[in-house]
Amino acid sequence: MSEQILREQLYAAFKNRAMMYYHIFEELRKEVGDDKATEIMRRGIYKRGLDLGARYARYGPADLEGLRNAFLASSADAGKMFQPEVLHFDAEKLDIKMGSCPLKEAWQEAGLSDQDIARMCHIAAAVDDGTFEGAGFQFAAETWQPGQEGCCLLKIRPGK
């Protein structure tokens, strides 16, 4: 199998994940409303992030350099998929801006409203909350909002 076919399958898998999130959210919102559906999905996705955080736990709570290097090295398609850019790095602060996101692109291609895309980005970002908090760091994400370029801004700080 060629590298190009594998790359296409990788991107398709991420877009599939995006649409699964959306369809599950749609069913939940019909039953419990937007806010409760968002809360339920974020809890479940956060738990998956906690699982993923184990791969970075050796850097917690304060080795931001090690975390940065490991995180960037593991970025899908050698960084091409999310296009991470380190905006700030020192011993107290690591900020990484994602230039693109296949999940957001899938929601755009499906014709979701900007408001629904922003909500889905907020929901999907729970995996990052779990990942970095599970590794022992303090974390906050500024997820995509209508009119913004790129995607999420990851704000990682030493843990306690």
Domain residue limits at 42:
3-157
For the segment 72-96, the average pLDDT, to the nearest whole number, is 97
> What angle in degrees, to the nearest 10, is found between the helix axes of 3-32 and 102-109?
70
- What tokens were used for 132? 């970095």
pLDDT at 137: 98
pLDDT one-digit tens code per residue, 9-57 = 999 999 999 999 999 999 999 999 999 999 999 999 999 999 999 999 9
DSSP sequence for the chain: --HHHHHHHHHHHHHHHHHHHHHHHHHHHHHH-HHHHHHHHHHHHHHHHHHHHGGGGGGTTT-HHHHHHHHHHTSGGGGTTT-EEEEEEETTEEEEEES--HHHHHHHHTT--HHHHHHHHHHHTHHHHHHHHHTT-EEEEE---TT-SSS-EEEEE---
- Report pLDDT for 20: 98
CA–CA dist 68, 21 (Å, integer): 27
Best CA proximity match to 124, nearest among 101, 157, 108, 94: 101
How many folded domains does the chain comprise?
1
Residues 88-116 have pLDDT tens digits of: 999 999 999 999 999 999 999 999 999 99
**What is residue 39's predicted lDDT score, i.e. its pLDDT?**
98
Per-residue pLDDT tens digits for 115-124: 999 999 999 9
pTM across the whole model: 0.95
Residue 146 has pLDDT above 80, yes or no: yes
Structure tokens at 49: 């992030």
Q: Give the per-residue pLDDT at 2.
A: 92
CATH number of the domain bearing residue 110: 3.30.1380.20
Instruction: Report which of 144, 117, 108, 147 is spatially closest to residue 128, judged by C-alpha positions.
Output: 144
Quick one: pLDDT at residue 1? 77
Burial class from Cβ neighbours inside 10 Å (0-12, 13-18, 19+) for residue 28 reads: middle
- State what percent of residues in the chain have pLDDT above 70: 100
Q: How far is CA 45 from CA 7, 30, 38, in A?
A: 24, 20, 11
